[in-house]
Amino acid sequence: MAGEYLIGIDIGTSGCKSILIDGEGKVIGYSLQEYPLLSPRPGWTEQDPADWWKAVQVSVWRLLRKTGISSNAVKCLGLSGQMHGLVALDKDCQVLRPAILWNDQRSMVQCQRIHEIVGGIPRLLELTNNQMLPGYTGGKILWMREQEPKLYKRTRLFLNPKDYIRYVLTGEFATEVSDASGTGLFDVRQRRWCDQLLTLLNIPIERLPRCFESPEITGRITKRASEVTGLPVGLPVVGGGGDAVIQTTGMGLVKPGILGITIGTAGIVAMGLDRFHPNADGRLQIFCNNSPGTWHVMGVTLAAGGSYRWFRDALCEVEKEKARQMGQEVYQIMEEIASAAPAGSRGLIFLPYLIGERCPYSDPAARGGFIGLSLQHGRPEITRAILEGVVFSLRDVFELINTMESSVKEIRTSGGGSLSSLWRQIQADVFQCPVITVSGSREGGAYGAALVAGIGVGIWKSVNEAVKVLKIETETIPDPRNKEVYEKLYGVYHGLYKTLKPSFDAIAQSQRQEISFHTTKEKTDELC
């Protein structure tokens, strides 16, 4: 619609992205503001919600200034955000502690206890259709109650990351069905908080926000928020969605047959479902989708783009310096290096379990590594092996989804990893399926949030109508010459987790003991 604009805001793990689209789904502009990731202990990841809010203010101001669009022409705002995080607010709505993030592994014991309290995983699947994974919000709430009881007693409300931003924008406490699904406390079939589970866990429902469908209006921009963001007072804010779900909406994954692969910090393999499916063994995640009466199946790997970023930060100083000198992105330099290695990286395999794993193995003790390293391997093979190992981990997830919906005809890829032509080719070759990118896919959850905002104010009647604005931008055809090498290498990769599981457990135990020793020593030193 001419003269009508929508804003999508995504509270990601590495930064806040704000985008502006028009009534035909065209991206007019975007702005990204980064913030730090904290890891006070191995396996712990946290962020300061104040950093998110500052980033929202900066990115939205910059977006409006850069595009030159009057804020009064913006009709609605949608929110996307990293899922499963825990933000605890006190009675004065002040943040009590740093937010505990989706990839934090500290609540493994609490999650196991939840399974026991309920009566086992099969019973929990009957209640919520999902296991209580270590990254989920429910386990974090119990961890806080046990490990930080004074803070827990002061807690008035628990929110997910994007819903904290909703609160500071609108003054309203609310969430929506896709993000609520990822707390582990939600009845996905009935699309409501699971009263029975909350009672068993002694979590008062009053400490959880009201839940909406994604396109519903949940609040409006306050005068205070308007002053620091430039957004107009009274601008509607819709429910939006958890990033893992709503970014697939922005890719057009609203019905079976199209597989979505997102390579961001995490890796996501997903598909839209037009009916509810029981989560048979609990290894996948089945959440409510962003349209009423629809669902979403996915599996998440914890360190997809995160593995590549780790490699960049830890071992690519030369590449970073070269990129600075040439005025290029460091990832472009890294891709050129990886392209010098053949498909299969001469038999070198990378395991991307740098912070444990979620799917298909829910195992905080899993550890990363290179298998098959020899004197013939250099920087090209090591770099390419990381890209291939991430895609192998995504194929592990696909094999599970394929037992549920086996009519996959195309793959749509998004996230930072979709910007790499080499990574897209590796996906096409490993899956032996065409891989496409669509308009808006590089904007991730922010684009899906903007589309859902448009539905909320009637620009589109439904999600199915909204995704018709998507256009194919690239198509990558599988190279049949690489099929055999990847089939063989994937077969080896697939067997490595089971083989190395005892070693992973021993290493994780050793690391925990070392952490315990240093923590005890620090406390002793303080007393002295």
Measured CA to CA, the distance from residue 446 to residue 458 in angstroms comes to: 19
The mean pLDDT of 71-79, rounded to a whole number, is 98
pTM of the entire structure?
0.85
Q: Which of 124-128, 342-346, 355-359 has the lowest mean pLDDT?
A: 355-359
β partners of residue 237: 77, 219
Contact assessment for residue 223 and residue 441, using Cβ atoms and an 8 Å cutoff = no
Work out the average pLDDT over 35-45: 93
What pLDDT is recorded for position 474?
96
Catalytic site residue from 22, 243, 396, 429: 243
- pLDDT at position 440, please? 83
Cβ(461)–Cβ(511) below 8 Å: no
Q: Greater confidence, 265 or 462?
A: 462
- What is the structure's pLDDT at 254? 86
Burial label for 28, CB within 10 Å (0-12, 13-18, 19+), is: middle
Mean pLDDT, to the nearest integer, of 242-254?
92
- The DSSP secondary structure of 299-333, one letter per residue, reads EEES-SHHHHHHHHHHH-HHHHHHHHHHT--HHHH
What tokens does 472 get? Answer: 């194919």
Distance CA 110, CA 505 (A): 18
Token pair of 482 as six digits? 């690489």
Peptide bond into 364 cis (omega under 30): no
Question: What is the predicted pLDDT for the residue at 467?
Answer: 95
Encode pLDDT of 293-322 as tens digits. Answer: 999 999 989 999 999 999 999 999 999 999
Instruction: Count CB-CB contacts under 10 A for residue 457.
Output: 17
| Predicted pLDDT of residue 243 | 93
| Residue 172: pLDDT over 70 | yes
pLDDT grade for 438, boundaries at 50, 70 and 90: very high
Please give the average per-residue pLDDT across 170-183, as a whole number: 99
- pLDDT tier for residue 519 given thresholds of 50, 70 and 90: low
| CB atoms near residue 385 (< 10 Å) | 27
State the average pLDDT for the chain: 95
Instruction: Kindly tell me the sign of the dihedral angle through the C-alpha atoms of 338, 342, 343, 349.
Output: negative
Which of the four pLDDT bands, split at 50, 70 and 90, describes residue 2? low
- Residue 520, pLDDT > 80, answer no
Are the C-beta atoms of residues 219 and 238 closer than 8 Å to each other? no
* Virtual torsion, Cα 111, 114, 119, 125, nearest 10 deg: -70
pLDDT-derived band at 452, boundaries 50, 70, 90 = very high
Q: Is 45 helix (H, G, I), strand (E, B) or coil?
A: coil
Nearest 5 degrees, angle CA 438-CA 444-CA 449? 105
Q: What is the mean pLDDT of residues 246-251?
A: 92
Whether 186 and 35 have beta carbons less than 8 Å apart is answered as no
Q: Tell me, what amino acid is at 466?
A: A
Confidence grade of residue 513 (pLDDT, cut at 50, 70, 90): confident
Partnered with residue 260 across adjacent β-strands are 270, 412
The predicted structure's pLDDT at residue 516? 62
Model confidence band, residue 242 (pLDDT cutoffs 50, 70, 90): very high
Look up 22 and say whether it is catalytic: no
| 3.30.420.40, 3.20.20.150, 3.40.30.10, 3.10.180.10: CATH of 252-439+479-496 | 3.30.420.40
Which pLDDT does position 515 carry in this prediction? Answer: 67
Whether residue 142 has pLDDT greater than 90: yes
Q: How confident is the model at residue 416 (pLDDT cuts 50, 70, 90)?
A: confident
> Which pLDDT band, with edges at 50, 70 and 90, does 5 fall under?
very high
Average pLDDT over residues 463-474: 95
Q: What angle do CA 508, 512, 513 make, to 5 degrees?
A: 120
Average pLDDT over residues 51-55: 99
Phi-psi region of 138 (alpha: psi -120 to 50; beta: other; left: phi over 0): alpha
The CATH T-level fold of domain 5-250+440-474 is Nucleotidyltransferase; domain 5 (3.30.420)
Which sequence spans correspond to the domains of the chain? 5-250+440-474, 252-439+479-496
Is the CB of residue 289 less than 8 Å from the CB of residue 272? yes
Over residues 266-282, the mean pLDDT reads 92
